[in-house]
Structure 1
């Protein structure tokens, strides 16, 4: 394996942010961004009309501080609340990203000069959320292209794979479950890993990735609820405080401190600042109480782990529907996993490792990818090798329908890049036909005439299609009242146009599209003979099977 270039990764986190760099096969270097730590606190606040970021907010009162600004993208919020006023969320996020860039440049890692820069994002984000972060990063001075964004659990998995294969010389073959719990989201990915031996580049295929808003922020709120109840039992509440918003903010800050402290010891004493709130009693919070507060989230997290494993079987053509997979017991699924990687700051909590270790007693459980758990994502983003042999679980590019109308070329997006094929809830509920679909009136375009289906990278460049090695700019489709387009988890593509013609194609894995350098998208026919198209009345029936 030859020496490769220089890559820089940026993990813009809900609670903290990191930057890392790697040159060729050298170990990853995590850049010191914080004033006393390697991480940069992803917090902002206002002193009067001045927007402050990072440690500059340390002396602000709790209600003047903005935490978890990244969640505004996850929750599709346009504004954030601070000190009784609403602030544009994008303004805060851009300021945080710009400060990350300034600090990286101050330690000789200028992001604006990085030729291979990657930025992480939650697996649950859709195309619009990803484009929003890319736009803000570009505004902050980051060099952005269509391959900049990488799902955070995938990046963490890559860090682990490369650490084990490159620096330990292991021949990895099997399935890796990444459990990435950070400040804002829980992300779970199932990766298939295959290497030809020590010193070779492993091939990594993403079988499933999903996420939910279960993470550090929710645990902080649960602990804060316990502390608030303890104070109320002793006659102290936010309603009786001189500054209710400050009371709530300081209790939440104390909850965060307790969470961190209890990762190292069995109990933690809490004294809220008397100067701001008046004399309040000292509280004691134990690891046992923390685990009880955390238990409901971890119960849901376990259900999501099984959902991710069920979804991964759809990707590898298990020949069973989601309804069939839903009835598979944990005992039937846990054998799918050979390795477990715990990533994200929340993995430092011993309870997380105990719960995941109990789920997979036959798997090797790791909380180290050559770096600390909260640095695994940024280490993977800075990888210089593995993205060349990475196969995705859904398209990172748009499918476009185009047609002429009134002498003008019209276009609409049929499938937006990175749109999830399913939600965790759909897998949990056993929905029978998982995949991305557009049907009939939801299918864009006119009701007559013809057009083309094309593929476009997120940078706006069009790629050729190769179907059974026949190259073309796009697939001709005839419009009508009945139109179908379906992307299945196992790489099958179904297109049925208004003439009743059905096209069945398959891609083995969705490639990483790198603009015009990617050449074309390689597809092949999914059937050896022309399918028999059922009549319209039959396809209207609920029991009608999908065309195969």
Structure 2
């Protein structure tokens, strides 16, 4: 367990900007000056004469050559991005760009007197929506950039924001907050929403009930505003695709859209002046906050839909759960009644329209948009907290369930449940009568005869011990066959049926954070130990059958 006085370093590699902070657990975090003139480092890059430039150096490149929002390539699972340079339009390797940006963060941290080494715990944030492969890709890039990070220190960004708020309420005001917190984290690339049960104090306990994310954030709004600017220019007889500097003008319009969004957080009107064009002259336009909010409205309507989805997902974690069809019919007032606090995080939370729309949803909750730092610094502040992760439980396993078996004298290991895999898709949430993760029949890995062992393996490759039937085991032995079944329910219950039709009904009270060697064992409780509800064999075969309840 972290002690007061220990330090942690947080790195928020953001879509638009990146931040670094150091925390000791006994006072406010110290946000290091990564930028040349600001605390944030621009997460942008570009090529000039074959050389890769990052940060402020890339800001001086022609606007069409600047690589922005490269972090989204991990979200999109894409390998390249298209840019224009002195050689024309070409595609660049985004992995190379991300490694260069992360390496520069390490270089600047050292220059600011905060070298990143193994003496302190270094945490890195990531969107809540990322699966195991996306998380591994970021970790690979960070390690290639020389950053000492691991799976155990990769933290979901909205959870980090929640940690920052809980610790701030205690350190600044002596409050030991207790209740349910909704984190609405809208940044440049993704909108992440987390529902947390929190108990504050010197060693807070935080349980994640749900965490959802979509690509519905600042970049999406920038594109929408740019579309309106393009339409207004077209109304004045100016079509961008017919201009001699079409690519440059398109990039310039997008930049001015981004500037208008920022300026209209504090003022009612903004004049758009197109500068830097050699052969094209564009008129001065005016964009108002009313126009911004109308343009933003469809996106915020979708965001509110995600809020309701996160609250319904949180209810699925309650023991025994709620039938999905009943949750789908539950109105907003009833869902909102569970929330005691709302925290607005991310740069987009500075837009007044965001706070107004979210505030309308939770008239009885206390709304916060800061925790000793600005909304866009909440994530890095939480990542730098050395205490807030000691008692953190997740909403889904951050480790693999694997099947081990021997075939032709070789030991083979196959994943049954890959770490961080969502239990269900958004589409399933609206249609299915059962919500959870399932492998069965032909989809179950391994041979159809013999014996295997179900084990739990951390993303670093270490195996967890299992505490089951009052003793510690390396795994659960299974008779293999054709009708294997493995289900994880949202409330932590696990149903396993092996090839001999032996069924185990288990429950994990909360999914622990695994921190490599020396971590606690995974405790599995028999559901049979609870008062049973009679059921029949055929009923257990139905997809909607609860595991022994």
TM, length-normalised to structure 2 = 0.96
SS, match of residue 387 in structure 1: coil
Residue 179, structure 1, aligned to residue 184, structure 2: yes
Gaps of 5+ in 2: none
Shift of 1:458: 1.0
Query: Can you list the C-alpha shifts for 1:233-290, whole angstroms capped at 9, x where unaligned?
Result: 1111222110221111110001000000000100100111253352111010000001
Is the Cα contact below 8 Å between 1:6 and 1:384 reproduced in 2? yes
How far, CA to CA, are the matches of 1:251 and 1:57 in structure 2? 18
CA distance in structure 1 between the aligned counterparts of 2:17 and 2:198, rounded to whole angstroms: 29
Deviation at 1:391, TM superposition (A): 1.0
TM-aligned CA deviation for residue 397 of structure 1: 0.9
Contact 1:114 1:143 survives alignment (8 Å)? no
Whether 1:324 and 2:326 are equivalent positions in the alignment is yes
Root-mean-square deviation (CA), in Å? 1.8
User: How far apart, CA to CA, are the structure 2 residues paired with 1:510 and 1:319?
Assistant: 16
Q: CA deviation at 1:528?
A: 2.5
Match of 2:521 in 1: 520
1:387-426 → structure 2 map (5 Å cutoff):
387-426=389-428
d(CA) in 1 for partners of 2:446, 2:383: 39
Q: 1:87, CA displacement in angstroms?
A: 1.1
Q: Which residue of 2 aligns with 1:462?
A: 463
| 1:542 CA displacement | 6.5
Structure 1: runs of 5+ lacking an equivalent? none
Describe the SS at the equivalent of 1:147.
Answer: helix
**Structure 1 Cα separation of the partners of residues 25 and 180 of structure 2:** 26
Residue 115 of structure 1: CA displacement? 2.6
List per-residue Cα deviations over 1:206-244 (Å, max 9, x = no partner): 100000000000000000000000111111122211022
The aligned residue for residue 113 of structure 2 is 108
Q: What's the CA shift for 1:430?
A: 4.8
1:41-93 Cα distance to aligned partner (Å, 9 max, x none)? 10111112111111101221121111000000000001111111111111011
Distance 1:344 1:528 in 2: 44
Aligned residue number for residue 60 of structure 1: 61
Secondary structure, aligned partner of 1:250: helix
Q: Could you tell me how far apart the structure 2 residues matched to 1:533 and 1:439 are?
A: 20
8 Å CA contact 1:492–1:505 kept in 2: the answer is yes
Deviation at 1:171, TM superposition (A): 2.3
Who is 1:145 aligned against? 150
Equivalent position of 2:358 in the other structure: 356
Contact 2:495–2:547 at 8 Å: present in 1 too?
Answer: no
Quote the offset at 1:516 in angstroms. 2.3
Offset, 1:102: 0.6
Deviations 1:386-430 (A, max 9, x none): 100111111111111110000110011111111111234433x15
Q: Secondary structure at the match of 2:77?
A: coil
Per-residue deviation, 1:148: 1.6
Query: Aligned-pair distance for 1:193?
Result: 1.0
SS at match of 1:160: helix
3-state SS of paired residue (2:373) = coil
3-state SS of paired residue (2:247): helix
| Structure 2 counterpart of 1:160 | 165
What is the TM-score with the length of structure 1 in the denominator?
Answer: 0.96
Conserved in 2, the CA contact under 8 Å of 1:393 and 1:510?
A: yes
Alignment of 1:363-382 (within 5 A): 363-382=365-384
Report Cα offsets for 1:433-490 as digits up to 9, x if no partner: 1111111111110011110011111111111100132111000011111111111111
Residue 539 and residue 386 in structure 1: after superposition, are their counterparts in 2 closer, same or farther (change >3 A)? closer
SS, match of residue 447 in structure 2 = coil
Q: Which residue in 2 is equivalent to 1:36?
A: 37
Matched residue of 1:108: which SS?
coil
Alignment of 1:216-255 (within 5 A): 216-255=218-257
C-alpha distance in 2, partners of 1:538/1:162? Answer: 47
Alpha-carbon distance between aligned partners in 2 of 1:302 and 1:280, rounded to the nearest angstrom: 37
After superposition, what is the alpha-carbon deviation per residue over 1:162-188, rounded to whole angstroms, capped at 9, x for unaligned? Answer: 000222111211100000000000000
Deviations 1:145-164 (A, max 9, x none): 23121000000000000000
Shift of 1:319: 3.4
Q: Distance in 1 between matches of 2:165 and 2:214?
A: 22
Aligned mates of 1:457, 1:397 — CA distance in 2:
5
DSSP 3-state at the match of 1:420 = coil
Cα deviation, residue 26, structure 1: 2.2
Deviation string, structure 1 residues 362-388 (Cα, Å, up to 9, x no partner): 100000111000000000000010100
**CA separation in 1, counterparts of 2:145 and 2:300?**
36
- Alignment partner for residue 202 of structure 1, among 201, 204, 207? 204
Q: Check whether the contact 1:500–1:533 (CA below 8 A) recurs between aligned residues.
A: no
Match of 2:99 among 69, 94, 97: 94
Residue 211 of structure 1 contacts residue 424 of structure 1 at CA under 8 Å; is this kept in 2?
no
What SS does the corresponding residue of 1:95 show, helix, strand or coil?
Answer: helix
Structure 2: how far apart are the matches of 1:519 and 1:122? 26
CA distance in 2 between partners of 1:542 and 1:122 (Å): 31
1:421-500 equivalent positions in 2, closer than 5 A: 421-427=423-429, 429-500=430-501
**In the comparison of the two structures, how many residue pairs are matched?**
543
1:47 and 2:73 aligned: no
Q: Are the structure 2 counterparts of residues 468 and 167 from structure 1 closer, same or farther at C-alpha, using a change threshold of 3 Å?
A: farther
